[in-house]
Amino acid sequence: MDDDGRFLGGYGGACDPYCKTHGSYIHRRYHRPWLARKPPRLQRRRRRRTCALRALPQHPSVTDGSKDGNSPRWARTAVNVEDHMIVPTLDPAAMEADPDRAVEDYVASVYTLPMDCSRPLWEFHFLDFPTSEAASTVVFRVHHSLSDGMSLITMLLASARSAADPTRLPAMPEPPARTGAIYVPWRREPTSPGALAAFITWIWPYLVLAWKTMVDVSLFAATTLFLRDPCTPFRRADGDVTLNPCRRFVHRSLSLDDVKFVKNAMSCTVNDVLVGATSAALSRYYFRKSGGSNTYRTWLRSVLLVNTRPTASLQTYANMIESGRSNDVAWGNQLGYILLPFHLAMHDDPLAYVREAKMTVDRKKSSLEAIFTCKISEVFVKMFGLKVGAFIFRHMFANTTISFSNLVGPTEKIELFGHPVVFIAPSVYGVPQALIVHYQSYNNTIKIVLSVDEEIFPDYNQLLGDFAVSFGLIKDAASRLSESIKKE
C-alpha cells in the first residue's frame, strides 16, 4: 500500500452476549467500534495507536467481578498490542468484484464476533484493500463502557493533526454563543408595574420548566415500565433485536453547506434540520411500506442521547490532552436521554418536516429531562445495583423505536498518524432496536450512518436513499423559499 491511503471513521458496537462481566450498566449493553486505514508501516501504527488510547483511563483495564458478583470494577492489566490488532483474510474475488460490499460484509460480521473480556475491550481490524472512498479501512471496535461518543471523538482529535498544518490540532466549531444552559428560561420584562407583576413574570418561566420536566420524566418512567410505541415497519413484534445476528451498517454523505443553507432559510438550528430530514425519510419509508393514505398520521419515538457535560468545545478537551492534562477531561459515559417523538405524515411542503422538528426540539429544550434521566439512572444503579440500571436501560430502548444521535467533528480535513482522513462514521449496536441513526459532521460533510436489523430492513439501502432524497427535497424547497423572499 502506498502512503496515499485514507482513514475512515468508524462504526460503533454493542452488547456482547459472550462477555458476562461489565463495569457499568451501559457496559452491559453495547460497544462502539470504529473504522480506520491500515498503515503501510503497521508496527509504527501499533505504537502510535497505543499512545493515543492512553488518554482513556480504562484503556489498560479489564473488568474484575467483586465478591458479591454485582459490582465489577476496573482492574489494571498489561496490554499486549498484538492481541488487539486483527488483519483478517478475506475472499480476494469478493474484494475485487465489489470492495465496498466486502467492507460492509466484514463490518456486519464483526458484530457477531465476541470480545475477549480477559483483556481490554478495544481492538483494530485492518482491511488493506481500496474501496470507492478510501485506499484501505480500519475497524476500531471499542466497548461503550470505556467512554461515550464525545470522549472517543476527543481522543481522535487529540491524536490527529490538521492536514493543512500538521504541527497543530484540528480546528473545531466554536462553542455555543449562549452563556447559560440551554434550558434556562427566557424572562420577559413585566408589562405592568408593581412587585406582584414582576414576581409573576420572574417565577412563571420556572414553573413552566418544572411542569414540562415533570411531564417528560413521568413519560420516561412510564416508558421504562409499560408504555410502548405503536407497531410500525420499524419495530420487531417483540421489540427486542439485541441478539439478532443480521445487522448492517451503511452510510451516506450530505453537504454540510446545504444543511446550513436550510438552517439559515428556516431560521432554525442544524439539529432541527437533521431531525426534520429524519422525520421526512422515516415518513417516506413508512408510507411506501405500509401503503397507507397520505392523510394518515402516526408517530414513533426515538431515544436522543445527550451529552451532559458542561458546555465546552471539543477543542478545549483536545488541548487538555495535548498538554498532558488528560485527567482533567470528563471521560466516561456522561449521557442523558430525551424521548423525542417523530410524527409520520406526508406533507406537500417538505419544509413542514423542519417546522415540526423545530417545535418538537424547542419543546424539549425547555425541560430538564436529559439531566433528570441521567441522574435518576445513576441513583438507581448506586442504590439497587447494575441489574436495575440494566433494566431501565433495556426497557427504555425496547419500548421505543429508534435511537438518534448527532456528533460534531473537525471543521477541516485532518491527518491521523500522517494519513489523511476521508470521513468519520460512528455507530453502535446491541440495543434492542432495529434502527439506529447517527449524524457525524466532518470538514464540509455530514455522514448519515444507519445501524439496521437486516431482517426488518432487507431494503436497508432504500431506507438510506430515503434520507438522501428527503433532504434533497427539503433543500430544494428552502431554495425556492429563499428566492421568493429575495423577490419580495
| pLDDT 10s digits, 172-214 | 777 666 545 555 555 555 555 677 877 887 888 889 899 999 9
User: How are beta strands 7-8 and 435-442 bridged, if at all?
Assistant: unpaired
The torsion region of residue 385 among left (phi > 0), alpha (psi -120 to 50) and beta comes to left
- Mean pLDDT, residues 228-251 taken together: 77
Q: Is 144 a catalytic residue?
A: yes
In 156-279, beta strands by DSSP E: 160-162, 247-255
CATH says 7-162 is which class? alpha beta
- What value does the mean pLDDT take over residues 134-157? 77
- Across 268-283, average pLDDT: 95
Q: Is the pLDDT of residue 228 over 70?
A: yes
Confidence of residue 310 (pLDDT cuts 50, 70, 90): low
In CATH, what number does 200-250+262-408+431-487 get? 3.30.559.30
pLDDT at position 478 over 50: yes
The residue with greater pLDDT, 82 or 51, is 82
The yes-or-no verdict on residue 13 having pLDDT over 50 is no
What single DSSP character describes residue 409? -
Check pLDDT > 50 for residue 17: no
Confidence band (pLDDT; 50, 70, 90) for 326? low
Assign 311 a pLDDT band (cuts: 50, 70, 90).
low
- Is pLDDT above 60 for 241? no
Reported as a pLDDT band with limits 50, 70 and 90, residue 10 is very low
Q: Give the pairing type, strands 414-416 and 160-162.
A: antiparallel
Identity of the amino acid at 460? Y
Strand order in the sheet with 445-453: 247-255, 445-453, 435-442, 402-407, 298-307, 335-344
Which one of the listed residues 22, 143, 144, 395 is annotated catalytic?
A: 144
Q: What is the mean pLDDT of the chain?
A: 78
- Out of 162-171, 354-363, 437-446, which region has the weakest mean confidence (pLDDT)? 162-171
**11 or 384, higher pLDDT:** 384
Residue scoring higher pLDDT (415 or 437)? 437
As a whole number, mean pLDDT of residues 55-71 equals: 54
Same fold, 7-162 and 200-250+262-408+431-487: yes
Beta-bridge partners for 24: none
| Least confidently predicted of 58-72, 92-106, 367-381 | 58-72
Mean pLDDT on 271-300: 88
pLDDT in tens, 356-402: 999 999 999 889 998 899 888 888 888 888 888 888 888 899 999 99
More confident residue, 181 or 74: 74
The grid cell for 485 is: 423572499
More confident of the two residues 54 and 356: 356
Q: Is the pLDDT of residue 430 over 50?
A: yes
Most confident of 44-48, 206-210, 348-352, 419-423: 348-352
The answer, yes or no, to whether residue 98 has pLDDT greater than 70, is yes
Above 60 in pLDDT, residue 7? no
User: Any idea what DSSP says for residue 70?
Assistant: S
The cell numbers describing 64, all together, are: 474484575
Pairwise CA distance, residues 290 & 77, whole Å: 53
294 or 444, which is more confident? 444
d(CA 242, CA 223): 18
Which residue carries 393514505 as its cell?
Answer: 293
- Mean of the pLDDT values across residues 74-95? 80
Q: What is the pLDDT of residue 37?
A: 42
Residue 30 Cα to chain centre, angstroms: 13
Domain positions in the chain are 7-162, 200-250+262-408+431-487
